[in-house]
Amino acid sequence: MRIEDVVFYSEGSRISASWRTPDQSADRPAEPLRAIVQGPGWLGLKDAKLYVRYHEALTAAGFGVLIFDYRGFGDSEGEKKLSPSAQLQDLRNAVTYLTTRDDVDADRIGVFGSGGTGGGNAVLLAAVDERVRAAVSQLPVANGRDWLHRMRSEYEWLDFLKALDDDRRERVTTGKGRLVHPREEIMVPTPERRATTVKADVDSRIPTAVSLAAADEILEYDPLGAARTLTTPLMVIGVEGDATTPTDHAVAIYEAARGPRRLVMQRHTTHYAAYDKYWEKVTPAIVGWFDTHLSNGDVVITTQDSEAGSVTYLEDR
């Protein structure tokens, strides 16, 4: 695949992005590409090696892929804050950027999101932006409040809520609030997360101090609510027994979606191990979903039959 560094602007901030496209034969005229936009997952960056396998498969199938760093992360400009609402703005602006490119078919744009808020953001974008014609959400968070709560024992949860309330009071009286490590004091990492090397190539470059106020936005984060209005074709990928992004979050989003939908459930694995264990089965399913639902920009088929859908279980035999 070809990789081109590109930039666009989101709410005035310069966004660093990577535009990944198929290798084109020199003697064959290039047609406008079907395009997939991706914002990284929770505390992820655009150049994470984890994403390359998906992008290689998508470009081999004739898609272009735009992945970028959210404002304040990686090589993008902007305040270093963890803000799902700002990330959604960045995603919508990324879609607009795609529509300005002559090598993109603006009627055939999809979204892929992976890992926590990455998966949740794909649902949010598809629900609010009708230019997005198909979505894949891998290991999503469905409800931010429930996600943060289930990382903690009950006494830890009550202490956390008190810390948030104290910080709100501090911010309104002094103009400043606490800075915290997002992976230690907002998210609580599982033992698997501490041990895994899946994201080791980018872990050292994520912000280690963000405003605790970010947790207020995550408490209100609600891809499940967005899914209840969603008629855009949606594939959800989960892990059975997931301790990082609960399995029932993926299932709830799938069950809530009102349009064409598919649930792919990976068994006998864990959140981070699944990326390597099942990628050779999951990746063709992702490509196939986009290939089916972005095949024709002139005809769009949706359904509001909440019973329509399919479930696929992946396991070793």
- Give 211-221 pLDDT, tens digit per residue: 999 999 999 99
In a domain, 26, yes or no: yes
Domain boundaries, position 281: 2-144+219-316
For residue 95, give the CATH number of its domain: 3.40.50.1820
Query: Could you give the number of structural domains in the chain?
Result: 1
Average pLDDT over residues 85-101: 98
Average pLDDT over residues 84-113: 98
- Give 4-55 pLDDT, tens digit per residue: 999 999 999 999 999 999 987 555 557 999 999 999 988 889 999 999 999 9
Percent of the chain with pLDDT over 70: 94
Query: Nearest-CA neighbor of 180 among 211, 151, 206, 205?
Result: 211
In a domain, 235, yes or no: yes
In a domain, 36, yes or no: yes
Q: Whole-model pTM?
A: 0.92
In a domain, 189, yes or no: no
Residue 204 pLDDT: 79
In a domain, 180, yes or no: no
In a domain, 214, yes or no: no
Residue 238, pLDDT above cutoff 90: yes
Q: How confident is the model at residue 302 (pLDDT cuts 50, 70, 90)?
A: low
* Choice between 184 and 309, residue whose per-residue pLDDT is larger: 184
Residue 175, pLDDT above cutoff 70: yes
In a domain, 201, yes or no: no
Average pLDDT over residues 96-117: 97
Average pLDDT over residues 266-272: 94
